[in-house]
Amino acid sequence: MTPFDLQRAADALIAARTEARLLAALPPDACPTTMDEAYRVQAEIARRTGGYRGWKAGSLTPEARAAAGIDRPTGARLLTPFVHDAPTRLSHARFVVPTLECEIAFEMARDLPPRDAPYGLDEVIAAIGAMRLAIEVADSRLPPKPPTPLNVADAGANGAFVIGPAVLSWRSMDRGAIEAVLLVNGQEAARGAGAKVLGDPLRAVVLFANNPPPHGPGLRAGDIVTTGSLTGMTPVAPGDHAVATFGFLGQVEVSFTS
């Protein structure tokens, strides 16, 4: 068996992101084939690019995990250089084929390190400082339908993450009823509700806290955990201006230069 080359895998994925290009097939020794290898690559990329600001929770349902061929949820590090406060302007040329997703995220106020006993809902709620409105710029450097370990190694197809306003009254609201509308150049492009994420996006944080990626610290104070798209994936072109509106809670803006 060919030994897995962690550094070569990280080199290839960092170069593809930096150069905004599709990655050709990786050589066998640089292509992660297990989830353990995938998370080792992900951690190495974060170490070499400036750290990470939080996590993108994925494979949240049994159906999604079955389709991916895995038995537990996934986590993708939100790399620090690609996390931005709204409103922001991003170069479209930084991405391969960027698409936008309106999302609800949660900002941790306290650590939730890995442990044997599962965290209860009340413990997770007590560890969260705020709910955040957000837009994910999804963007894959990989060929269509990549194997799950390779997709996880490449940050779960995350291109950038745009953090909007903090919502402090989130505990008392019906989070499943939160409606997001994505406007691109003033025209409605997509619409969806918080119920799309497990009925309540908070459940994604509980699931993630109890299934943290291996070899890591779990959730750290200050981490952002984003829970998945309310609106599907909407492509954007150079010059587009996008606004995700969440009713009276606020909005998130991002523009794309050429």
Would you state the structure tokens that stand for residue 207, as one six-digit string?
């699931």
Nearest to 209 by CA among 131, 127, 152, 149: 127
For residue 251, what are the β-bridge partners? Answer: 245
Q: Which residue has the tokens 């994604």?
A: 204
> How do strand 52-58 and strand 224-229 relate by DSSP bridges?
parallel
The confidence band for 1, taking pLDDT boundaries of 50, 70 and 90, is: low
HSE on the CB side for 47, CA within 13 Å?
Answer: 11
Q: What pLDDT is recorded for position 59?
A: 97
At residue 31, the 3 state secondary structure works out as: coil
Which tens digit of pLDDT belongs to each residue from 119-130?
999 999 999 999
- Cα–Cα dist 103/100, whole Å: 9
Would you state the structure tokens that stand for residue 192, as one six-digit string?
């969806």
Which amino acid is present at 146?
P
Domain ranges of the chain: 52-257
- Cα–Cα dist 26/196, whole Å: 35
Which amino acid is present at 62?
P
- Cα–Cα dist 19/66, whole Å: 33
> Which positions ≥6 away from 2 have C-beta within 8 Å?
28, 29
Provide mean pLDDT across the span 24-35.
Answer: 91
Which tens digit of pLDDT belongs to each residue from 169-206?
999 999 999 999 999 999 999 999 999 999 999 999 99
Lowest mean pLDDT among 68-72, 141-145, 234-238: 141-145
Report yes or no on whether pTM surpasses 0.75.
yes
For domain 52-257, which CATH number applies: 3.90.120.10, 3.30.70.260, 3.90.850.10, 3.30.420.40? 3.90.850.10
- Cα–Cα dist 168/109, whole Å: 12
Which tens digit of pLDDT belongs to each residue from 218-240?
999 999 999 999 999 999 999 99
Question: For 89, left (φ over 0), alpha (ψ -120 to 50), or beta?
Answer: beta
Q: What pLDDT is recorded for position 128?
A: 98
Q: 54 phi and psi, to 5 degrees?
A: 160, -150
Which tens digit of pLDDT belongs to each residue from 146-167?
999 999 999 999 999 999 999 9
How long, in residues, is the chain? 258
